[in-house]
Amino acid sequence: MIECRNITKSYRNGGEETPVLKGISFTVKDGEYVAIMGPSGSGKSTLMHILGALDTPTSGQYLIDDHDASSLTPDESADFRMKKIGFVFQAFNLLPRATVLRNVALPLIYAGVEKTKREEMAKNALKAAGMDESRFSHLSNQISGGQMQRVAIARALVNNPTLLLADEPTGNLDSKTGEIVLATLEKLNAEGRTIIMITHEPDVAAHAKRIIMLRDGLIVSDEINKKRIKS
């Protein structure tokens, strides 16, 4: 279970304080697939950073599996992210001269997992993300954009996180390739993965089962996507 309790976030510039999030509350149950949408300036990027334990709220609580991530130290936040959250970014963030397999295994190296086990875990994550085994030994700069994003998804999955957090996951892809990546996320959700996707594109959000809309730092709607639930 993921829970935000009256989250606020303000930034101070000199003597002036600018509120960005103004009391955000919602829960995400295990296995849900939620899209968070909003125009520029709505606060969705700030909320994404809090959900990813990359930032802390000014007030309120953010809980994952009953662990409070609201006031962690930087070291505690890094450990929390490694154990609880898998990130999929628009820009892929892969090491260009490392193999596909090594890119996915990298978080396990930092976690101290021994080589044989981490390679097995990385291979399993790549297969779960729909990556063809013939590509595992390719350098990441030798594969297509869609394949890069699948590698990024596999890297996000490799630690078996509580939450898969996808920030504009199709932003650098053409529409056809983007649909393949979104189908991969749908497959992972069907297998029980909890996914929160940040996007400004209605067509992308339509792949989620629930859509939360932000405007001016507040939730203005939180609705089940009936088309996806029926499917």
Cα 187 to Cα 32: distance, rounded to the nearest angstrom: 12
Which pLDDT score, from 0 to 100, does residue 12 have? Answer: 87
Of 95, 54, 97, 100, the closest CA to residue 78 belongs to 54
CA distance 140 to 148: 7
Question: Does residue 8 sit in helix, strand or coil?
Answer: strand
What's residue 131's pLDDT?
93
Instruction: For residue 134, give the DSSP letter.
Output: G
Residue type present at position 17: E
What pLDDT shows up at residue 13? 84
Q: Which CATH superfamily is domain 2-230 in?
A: P-loop containing nucleotide triphosphate hydrolases (3.40.50.300)
Q: 80 phi and psi, to 5 degrees?
A: -60, -45
The rounded distance, in Å, linking the Cα atoms of 68 and 62 is: 6
Q: Are 149 and 156 within 8 A, CB to CB?
A: no
Report how far residue 166's alpha carbon sits from residue 77's, in angstroms, rounded to the nearest whole number.
18
The predicted pLDDT at position 32 comes to 97
For residue 95, what pLDDT is reported?
Answer: 93
Give the residue carrying structure tokens 């949408």. 37
Q: Where are the beta strands (DSSP E) in 72-189?
A: 85-89, 163-167
Give me the tens of pLDDT residue by residue for the chain, a chain 231 residues long. 899 999 999 998 888 899 999 999 999 999 999 999 999 889 999 999 999 999 999 999 999 998 899 888 888 888 889 889 999 988 889 999 999 999 999 999 888 899 999 999 999 999 999 999 999 999 999 999 999 999 999 999 999 999 999 999 998 898 998 999 999 999 999 999 999 999 999 999 999 999 999 999 999 999 999 888 765
